Each structure stands twice: as structure tokens, then as C-alpha cells.
Amino acid sequence: MDLSVQKSFANHNTGSLYLVPTPIGNLDDMTIRSINILKDVDLIAAEDTRNTQKLLNHFDITTKQISFHEHNTEQRAPELIEKLRAGTSIAQVSDAGMPSISDPGRELVQQCVENDIPVISVPGPNAGLTSLIASGLKPQPFLFYGFLKRKPKEQVDELEILAQAYPTLIFYEAPHRLKKTLINMQKVFGNRQATLARELTKKFEEYVRGGIDDLVDWSKENEIRGEFVILIAGNPNGFKIMKPDENKAQLSVEEQIDQLISNGDKPNAAIKKVAKQNGLVRQDVYNQYHHLE
């Protein structure tokens, strides 16, 4: 891979691509810088022009829009690159939050990099981090995963891999899939500590904290509305980067199993997880834990 260095764009011969976050709910979260950029650029590439128009009207922004979403990326990205090469400045926005984070943007950024077009990332709202710092779970390290696969078996396969991760896990989920996703998490993760964040920064913002069992019960007893962030405590025995002297402090197989059981797992489920996490044969771990020959 060739080295690429992006320096000041002030004297660049092309236009620049601005990645502008938009509010995840409360319009007051729009930054002054973001408003000024949307006013000053030549064109706004929006995930949904109708949705973005409401934002533009609120801040008296009259910049022209063009649609740019997951269904027209292949056709629209080259068109936007040509405009940028000709000197047009473009701001790219998604419906809410940061462009490219479970939203359109990545392909356009890649093509800008390949064509030596400056890419300017503007800080702003993000649902994952907003919910993480209020979740009550360990904020660092964290692993942002976004949306899981929709098919049940594929989703479980993903979760079984993620079950071995030490960092706090962050997922996005749509309301109509929330209950099934939580049930799959319950099967794979057991009753780990977790948090649901709903309708962030909006009037009906809500945090639901407890074990995964509690969240499953909540999803069965309440009307599921709004967009959700699901945060799951990491695996305390999972993979993490450690200093050499910390390797001595790793838990034994039996201690790992006991810790999972104390977190709500049944013994056999805990044995299966520990065997998988350590690359051991399940029956051998079972015999070791129960002190069988």
C-alpha cells in the first residue's frame, strides 16, 4: 500500500469533502461549525434529502442537496468525485450521527483518498459513545460493532465470536428486531450486565440497566419503539492486551468457570464457553472442573 499524507487543504486544487455529523435527536446538538460548513459548501450529499431538508430549514440553510445513500452509492460516488475534482466543495451527512458509522460514507471517503481529495472530519453527535458514557458499564476499552446480521443463525455465530471479547460491546438495533436479538444475546452471553439506550437526546430518552435476563423481560413487557443502542459488558476472561507481568494474574480454568457462573451462567454453559475461549476440549474442561479422572 502506498503512503498517503493529507496536509492542509487550503491551497489544494480540488474541492474538499466534509463529513458533517447531524443530531441524533435534539437539534440543539448541531455545532456552530457544522452549521457554517453546511452553509458554505457548494453541495450537500444527504442520505435522505427530505429528512435533511428539515434540518436545513431549522437553521436557515439554503445549500442545494443531492441524494447519497446505500442504494445509489455505486452510481453516485463517481459523480461526486468528479465534482470534487472540478473544485466543488461537498458536505456529506447521514440522517443522524456520524457519516460512515452504520451509515453511508465509507466508499466515498475511500475514493477521495485514492484521488488525493482532502477529507475533513467534523466532530459531533454519535449514539454509541453518547450511550456508553451513561451506561454504567466499563467505558474503556470498548468495541463498537453496530448492526448484527439479521438471520438468526448468522447472528448467533457473530455473537459467539464476540463473546470472547474483553471490551464492552456496543450494538445498534431496530425496534422490530430488538426482542429476538436480546434473546440471542441471552443464549450466548448468559446474564451479563447490559444497558439499553432508547431515543437518545429526545423527549422520551430512556436507559434500561440490568442483567441481560432483565432486558429480555423488559422487551417482552413493554411496547418497543424508537431506535436502540445495546451495550453488553465484556468478557472478563476474554482476549485483551496485557503487560508481561499481568500474564501471571490470569485466572485458572476453574476460576474462569466460577466467575461465569457467578455472573448468571449455568455450569455446563460456563464450561462450554471457557473451553471455547481457551481452545480446549469441552469434555476435558468438564472433567477438570468436576475433578473427574
- Strand pairing partners for 211? 193
- Phi, psi (rounded to 5 degrees) for 192: -65, 160
Contact 159, 185 (CB under 8 A): yes
- Nearest one of 142, 139, 136 to 240, comparing CA atoms: 142
Q: Would you say how long the chain is, in residues?
A: 293
Q: Which amino acid is at 62?
A: T
Range of weakest confidence among 134-148, 211-225, 243-257: 243-257
Instruction: Return d(Cα 104, Cα 107) in angstroms, integer.
Output: 8
What is the dihedral angle through the alpha carbons of 27, 29, 31, 32, rounded to the nearest 10 degrees?
Answer: 60
Q: What is the mean pLDDT of residues 117-142?
A: 95
Express as a percent the part of the chain with pLDDT over 70. 92
Q: What is the mean pLDDT of residues 218-246?
A: 82
Lowest mean pLDDT among 95-109, 170-184, 229-243: 229-243
Whole-number Å distance between alpha carbons of 179 and 214: 12
How do 17-19 and 90-93 pair as beta strands?
parallel
Q: Which long-range contacts (CB under 8 A, 24 or more apart) does 155-159 make?
A: 155/181, 155/184, 156/184, 156/187, 156/188, 159/184, 159/185, 159/188, 159/189
The amino acid at residue 184 is N
pLDDT of amino acid 247: 47
Minimum mean pLDDT range among 97-106, 109-118, 189-198:
97-106
**Long-range interactions of 150-158: CB distance < 8 A, separation 24+:** 150/177, 152/180, 152/184, 155/181, 155/184, 156/184, 156/187, 156/188
Using the predicted structure, report yes or no on whether residue 89 has a pLDDT greater than 90: yes
Segment 127-153 shows an average pLDDT of 95
Flag whether pLDDT at 238 surpasses 60.
Answer: yes
* Residue keyed to cell 453516485: 76
Is the model's pLDDT at 226 over the cut of 60?
yes
- For residue range 74-87, list pLDDT tens digits in order: 999 999 999 999 99
Q: What is the pLDDT of residue 129?
A: 96
Q: Counting Cβ atoms within 10 Å, is residue 134 exposed (0-12), middle (13-18) or buried (19+)? A: middle
Q: What is the pLDDT of residues 180-201, one digit of tens each?
A: 999 999 999 999 999 999 999 9
Confidence bin at 115 (pLDDT 50/70/90): very high
